[in-house]
Amino acid sequence: MLAVINRFVLVTFSLIASQLIYCGTMISQLFILSSKGDHLIYKDFRGESGSDAVGIFYEKVTALTGDQPPVVMTHKDLHFIHIRQGGLYWVATTTEDTSPFTIIEFLNRLTALVKDYCGSLSEKSVQMNFALIYELLDEVVDYGYIQTTSSDVLKNFIQTEAVSSRPFSLFDLSNVGLFGAETQQSKVAPSSAATRPIQSSREQGGKSEIFVDVIERMSVVVGSNGVLLKADVEGEIRVKCYMPSCSEMRIGLNEEFSIGKSQLRGYGAAVRVDECSFHQAVRLDEFDTHRILRLCPSQGEQTVMQYQLSDDLPSAPPFRLFPTIERDNGGRLLMYLKLRCDLSPKRSVPLYLVVLCAFSLSQELSSPDQSTELKPQSRAVVWQIPRFPGGTQLSALFKLEVPGLSSASMLEVGPVGLSFELPKFTATGLQIRFLRLSPIQPGPSQRWVRYVTHSDSYTIRI
């Protein structure tokens, strides 16, 4: 009994301490800037710093070399903490000795909150919904102290309706993208379906919808001899709920789902990950036996599960490159690239291939719809393939003029970086078996599941 009491006291103290740390963080100013430094949102909570803080921040960011400026910067007694989301700078300033990680977490939650209420994160959506964002900031932060970032709490106080850049229509298939519609049936939703404001559910007569995204990011390094040197996959399951009320949702994963290098569970297609973590609202009482996630989703978007797999892909990487580099009689460098797509013939994917090299003279491509672009500043050639069907092979011949070409300079060519997005595909094989709601929702309810795999870093050495 004493052990139970001690555990209760410890848990209670930890919760109180976390709330004190979270609520004790003080923010002086908060502003949102476009990539060009345009002033979109500005809120001064305490009047401790002048309005020139916006200009000072942008000058410090643009004066830095490199694509990744430091998250925390200081000017006299003022600290700038920022993140980049949706092509925008989300900046908070403070004069206190505050933990930057707390403010970074707050900014990330704020971007998710704005995305839930505005539908998307972009300069246009922020400009069209500036009144809504100011209302959110008034409720989220009080005199510089963070109050809440919960959509469930804020929906009782936010009255301003979001302004969408275009009206949402479930039957508008002109913008079909990641959902991969093959026919004009109701089994596939357009790519803009899950990017509308959460308040729009009230405007549609109580129509209930839930979107579940299984998103994976691949990091692959292939040696010059074609041997796979590194292969990491980071994945997550996101849920975006447009239901005004949902008591419980059950997400069924693959029955043959193993965490770690433990023995596989029995029959079925094996899916294994190294690490796995869950949202605090997910109940795992059925996960060990039936691989079912239970949660009560709130309106908006939340990540219910994150997982990682390292150096043990269940299948071969989707793309292979066969390069040939030689020198011609005119002193030019000839680079012949043959790229093969090992996906199913039913799939096709747009692809960007970046080769680090010198200046390009000319190129010969295997298809007229392909294109190349020379970027002298980064000393790279970009090969753009709008449609790459699975099971096919494409080729390109680049003729490069390198000043002072020698055997050593030929070794400086490369590496090759690939950028792609694969719909209806997961590198780990993770699948959603079912998506059930209880109790059964009154009226029509629609449930959508999407699978997307991105190239976080796909590098091939040549």
| Model pLDDT, residue 18 | 35
pLDDT digits (tens, 9 = 90+) for 83-135: 998 889 999 998 888 888 899 999 999 998 988 888 888 888 899 888 989 99
pLDDT, the chain, mean? 78
Residue 206: Cβ within 10 Å count: 14
pLDDT digits (tens, 9 = 90+) for 216-225: 999 999 988 8
Q: Are 51 and 44 in contact (CB under 8 A)?
A: yes
Answer yes or no: is pLDDT of 252 > 90: yes
| Model pLDDT, residue 220 | 92
Answer yes or no: is pLDDT of 145 > 80: yes
Q: Rounded distance, CA 166 to CA 179, Å? A: 19
Q: Would you call 388 exposed, middle or buried from its count of C-beta atoms within 10 A (0-12, 13-18, 19+)? A: buried
Q: Rounded distance, CA 408 to CA 66, Å? A: 27
pLDDT digits (tens, 9 = 90+) for 360-372: 556 677 777 788 8
Q: Rounded distance, CA 430 to CA 256, Å? A: 10
Answer yes or no: is pLDDT of 272 > 60: yes
Answer yes or no: is pLDDT of 448 > 70: yes
Q: Are 122 and 86 in contact (CB under 8 A)?
A: yes
User: Alpha helix locations (H) across 226-299?
Assistant: 287-290
Q: Rounded distance, CA 435 to CA 59, Å? A: 49
Prediction pTM value: 0.72
- The mean per-residue pLDDT over the stretch 167-195 comes to 44
Pairing of the two strands 300-310 and 78-85: unpaired
Q: Rounded distance, CA 106 to CA 273, Å? A: 29
Residues 6+ apart with CB under 8 A from 380: 354, 355, 356, 357, 374
Q: Rounded distance, CA 57 to CA 153, Å? A: 32
User: Token digits for 224?
Assistant: 């010059």
Q: Are 31 and 43 in contact (CB under 8 A)?
A: yes
User: Token digits for 196?
Assistant: 């509308």
Instruction: Give just the sign of the alpha carbon dihedral 51, 52, 58, 60.
Output: negative
Which of 22-26, 40-44, 191-195 is predicted most confidently? 40-44
Name the least confident of 51-65, 107-121, 166-180, 216-230: 166-180
pLDDT digits (tens, 9 = 90+) for 340-361: 998 888 888 888 778 766 555 5
Q: Rounded distance, CA 217 to CA 195, Å? A: 21
